[in-house]
Structure 1
């Protein structure tokens, strides 16, 4: 999609847990940056925003009982919540000078895990195609603007025994969920078509060398994105990470956060330190919720998409109120109605 002549180039790295995603993203980002290609790395869910923190809570604890909701609609609400988080971040991307490449650690197709989890919890197989279609619909604006479907790399393992990695993991970190999700990823692949590449990172418990994984990913990306073939555009740089400053100056205005908190968080992101990222994100999100004076969307089309999502899935409003309070909810609703 051309927005005022701007074409975004994106690489979306997808896959379940334990396929070496964080590692691959980091290696690809460093390699591209080293060749002078300006690369911005963004991990989803982006927890350090008000909506991102709601996602973290819902992933850990499920939907709170106080928010009365039909069991059947839970999966839709979760997918809409993920889509809303991506729109928060899309707004920040649109408000900034464009990077050569946006590299996403998970994106819209991670709904495979959400759908898989809900099927395990009693949703019916025949609901599957409808849920996949709905997921594509919720994220269609994000996918169109950023050209996501042009280059999706799905990392997978072959013939591998699965073990839970995090002691206090979230609900999706279960073997049956991860395996069923592979089947659902294949449904998304049918939608996306030739922009979808499957790359194996581990075969029969044997990891492939990092360089090989990185090269396979970059070669696929080069077959999809012209800019990657220029190589050596200018001096080597480090990858960019979307900063909290950007979020404060493009969406959650007049909010107050300590510099130390922001620095620690970006540090944890760069080191792929999960605990540091979660803890920092929670504090940042709470500070944004507590101190934001005014919420204003940079891009009107994105704002309309947010409004549509809130109208279609009214339960989102209840969740925002439950976790962020009434005062924040009013600012949020005002921002899309102005």
Structure 2
């Protein structure tokens, strides 16, 4: 039997499966979209460093233990799957199964597959976010650490924050968009939390949708930072990233326009490209962003430009402006240098 795609293999093996992207942040990937991507009918929507960073969870349809693969699939210059890499991985997989695609994988075989060049180990914060979202998706109970986080939020003075588990904070963040009461409690407590707890929770929030009041409160908190003599751009970036799972909204777009007008440093520019690139689909933010990079952070320009132009949602808008006569001189010069380097 000829099997050329991962979804074909998982279907033929009699499994059910769920897919998530773990590149820039955790995002669910619908099965129909994945099939179209595998067939080359559309580019991968969230490329990072010319790769798709996938979490694949699968289990036998009649029940059984779920397995997870973390796959790093190369993409071509158009953002399409490198099918040769997928076939190499599937070939190694079928070899491990002894040619029987219905055979269950042992833990040892799973480990051997993990040693192929097409797998990766996610960072701990993304791994925690993934397990939290997966347990929610599969209607499984949260981790044993979740109860401790809820107790701490209820009465911080009665508990040692250093005993909180990262997975518990991840479980909390994953549930905020479906539990209005929980989100309200977090909004009330967030600004009084010890800095390490606040930072860990905000980092987890970036992987999930948030209720509008909580997301807006995070954006409003940036005002207090800007009023300081020396605003902490790392903290501003943390607050912005925490809302990354939300679709663009007016308050965030306005705040980003304000920040760009203040000529922020590299930390905020990197945050915008890595987590909030969807805001750059607005030309009123995209062009000032690129101009700021070109004029003040030339060392970052080529790398960030290459990442942004690889994103399908941004690529047409960026290419349409390459020869825009109204671009600032520094941006024209940076683009000219980039094009010259590409040609020769």
Report the TM-score when normalising by structure 1: 0.28
Larger Rg: 2
Report the TM-score when normalising by structure 2: 0.28
* Structure showing greater relative contact order (alpha-carbon pairs closer than 8 Å, 6 or more residues apart): 1
